[in-house]
Amino acid sequence: MSSASPQAEHTLPEANVVGRLLSVNVGLPKDVSWKGKTVFTGVFKDPVTGPRRVRKLNVDGDGQGDLAGHGGEQRAVFVYQIDSYRYWEHELGRNDFVHGQFGENFTIEGQVGDDEVCIGDRYQIGTAVFEVTQPRVTCYRVGIRMNDPRMPALLVSHRRPGFYFRVLQAGEVQAGDEMLKLASGPEQMTVAEVNALLYLPGHPRQQLLRALRIPALSPGWQTSLHALLEGEPGGGNAGLATTSPPPAWPGFRQLIVTGIDRESDSVISIRLEDPDGASLPPARPGQYLTLRLQPENEQRSVLRNYSLSGPPDAGYYRVTVKREHNGLASGYLHTRLRVGDQLDIAAPRGTFILDRTRAPVLLISAGIGATPVLAMLHALTEEHSAREIWWLHGARSGRDHSFATEARALLASLRNVHTRVCYSRPGPDDLEGRDFDAVGRLTASLLAELAPPRDAEAYLCGPIPFMEEISAGLASMGIDASRIHTEPFGPAPGLTPGIAATPARTPHAPPGKPGSGPTIEFARSDLAIPWSDEYASLLEFAEACDVPVRWSCRTGVCHNCETTLIGGTVNYNPDPVEPPAEGSALICCSRPHDDVVLDL
């Protein structure tokens, strides 16, 4: 240890020198140009000389651009080993590395490899004391820093991610300080082992349980490993992405319309059955169907999603459609569809699914948003659920109030229910206390008055501003974000970490000459266009069309880009580190094999 570094309180009698701090690297986030976009990133770090103070959140002079993915108490200091530098120099045939090359704050040497350091190990460097919390979470920014977009995947598949420290005791460090090991983490699971447990296929149960016994493992990783424990077969990597369960059939099949019922002035329900009379596979409560429709005078078919509104395992499907002003599909379904017609339907999909716990459940909807939560209410009724159930619904008036009688009957058959139906503009025939409970909108302040239980699972569906307001209200009441589930009736919000915001554009065909490849349909964006080999991946193609997308590593590791594949097949290059769920695709590393329908 350098003579300037006094002993830390946590030093144990058997503490021993295991390595050395070669370089302290810091950098504040800055704008970087990348593929015509601006990225705000702190991945560029430069070595500093002399002592530096390390505090709870950062090394002085350091910062992170995207605090959702990096930084914070659990990820205060990122550490990488010089042995790994040598490994990558050889592997990539490079000799241009400088300290901070991997975006790390501490470049270290010694017996401190990812296969030696364990989660929960404690070290003293200088006067500061650290604890190992988790492996590095790789993202595309290390690819930018390394000038090699494959890096996020390589760091994981070659089992050399590096790791994070949290700061147990603030202090000063400087290049040349020795690394003193103060204590070993419980379970003695190395950084490489824990990293493989989350990212690589397998996820052995015993190992997951072992890792979950390490209190120092960061809460984010604990959540991911818990999700893996509960993952279902064929469900891809449940620790990284929540995906739709495997579909009951690939692509589309024909179902026959056996009933059309009016639910309110602007809403009809459509009953769909197997033309041969067989029972249709059960859906999960909350899922939706994708309908392929051919309105007359339209040159091409259109795709629309409709949530199932009936009992999920009735052997038939029921969807409920609100007629939108000038709406192409809803107008067609309301005016042209007849009993006996056949429609192309994709299997039930979606992740807005009623949980199977015993927690109280809040079913909160506005207008046509009642459809998926009504299916949940059916499911709860069928199982004679003893859960505490809250049915909170907002409609304009009795004329717009779909499912009023049906919901009332279902709620009456349950033991433990609270209901509140709000009409914002009750009609002359609407009677308070009989048809509805309160005049006004269903708002966050009304919710606060009702004070639903904090350990509830909440399911919200309605217009986006409604869901945003209610979600924020629930969060401010102390309901954990992981328990607040929403279903947007349109494109899901994008996730583009670190990219500077630009005005949203309506999805469009990509610029330039149209391609001649298979047709790519972006279902929620109402776009069908031929694939062009100019694009490296379906993700790049979607971006060129301004279709909202989600991604982080862009090379098949993080599963953020995992997308429901409604129809068709894709080819991977490179192969993802772990395959996605059945019926899903990782669009960052795939191209179409044939015509493809993506739920984007």
Ligand X SMILES: Cc1cc2nc3c(=O)[nH]c(=O)nc-3n(C[C@H](O)[C@H](O)[C@H](O)COP(=O)(O)OP(=O)(O)OC[C@H]3O[C@@H](n4cnc5c(N)ncnc54)[C@H](O)[C@@H]3O)c2cc1C
Q: Choose, by CB under 6 A, the member of 15, 227, 558, 600 that binds ligand FES.
A: 558
Write the interaction track for ligand FES spanning residues 561-600; mark x where CB under 6 A is met and - where it is not. Answer: x------------------------x-x------------
**DSSP helix/strand/coil, 270:** strand
- CA 181, 185, 187: angle at the middle one, nearest 5? 140
CA 82 – CA 315 distance, rounded (Å): 61
**Full DSSP string of 400-453:** G-TTHHHHHHHHHT-SSEEEEEEESS--TT--BTTTBSEES---HHHHHHH---
Residues of the chain by 3-state class (helix, strand, coil), percent to 5: 20, 30, 50
Q: Does residue 551 belong to the site contacting ligand FES (CB under 6 A)?
A: yes
Partner touching 551 among ligand X, ligand FES, none, CB below 5 to 8 Å by kind: ligand FES
For ligand FES, which stretch binds (CB under 6 A), given 121-129, 257-265, 361-369, 554-562? 554-562
For ligand FES, which stretch binds (CB under 6 A), given 377-385, 479-487, 526-534, 546-554? 546-554
Q: How many residues are present in the chain? A: 600
Q: Does residue 368 belong to the site contacting ligand X (CB under 6 A)?
A: yes
CA 271 – CA 343 distance, rounded (Å): 11
345 in Cβ contact with 252 (< 8 Å): yes
Q: Choose, by CB under 6 A, the member of 524, 550, 554, 591 that binds ligand X.
A: 524
The nearer residue to ligand X, 44 or 391, going by C-beta atoms, is 391
Q: Does residue 556 belong to the site contacting ligand FES (CB under 6 A)?
A: yes
Residue 421, strand partner residues: 393
Q: Does residue 560 belong to the site contacting ligand FES (CB under 6 A)?
A: yes
486 in Cβ contact with 467 (< 8 Å): yes
Site for ligand X in 299-358 (CB under 6 A): 304-307, 320-322, 324-331
Angle between helices 404-412 and 370-382 (to 10 degrees): 30
CB of 309 to ligand X, least distance (A): 7
Q: Choose, by CB under 6 A, the member of 280, 553, 585, 598 that binds ligand FES.
A: 553
Q: Does residue 557 belong to the site contacting ligand FES (CB under 6 A)?
A: yes
**DSSP helix/strand/coil, 77:** strand
The nearer residue to ligand FES, 180 or 553, going by C-beta atoms, is 553
Residue 115 burial class via C-beta count within 10 angstroms: exposed 0-12, middle 13-18, buried 19 and up = exposed
Q: Does residue 269 belong to the site contacting ligand X (CB under 6 A)?
A: no
CA 360 – CA 144 distance, rounded (Å): 46
Residue type, 191: V
Q: For residue 88, what are its two tokens?
A: 């990558």
The nearer residue to ligand X, 5 or 525, going by C-beta atoms, is 525
CB of 554 to ligand FES, least distance (A): 5
End-to-end CA separation in angstroms for the chain: 55
Q: For residue 390, what are its two tokens?
A: 């809250």
The nearer residue to ligand FES, 81 or 584, going by C-beta atoms, is 584
Partner touching 558 among ligand X, ligand FES, none, CB below 5 to 8 Å by kind: ligand FES
Q: For residue 275, what are its two tokens?
A: 């033309």
Q: Does residue 559 belong to the site contacting ligand FES (CB under 6 A)?
A: yes
For ligand FES, which stretch binds (CB under 6 A), given 154-162, 166-174, 287-295, 545-553? 545-553
CB of 106 to ligand X, least distance (A): 46
Q: Which spans of this chain sit near ligand X (rule: CB under 6 A)?
A: 288, 304-307, 320-322, 324-331, 368, 371, 487, 489-490, 524
Q: Which spans of this chain sit near ligand FES (rule: CB under 6 A)?
A: 551-554, 556-561, 586, 588
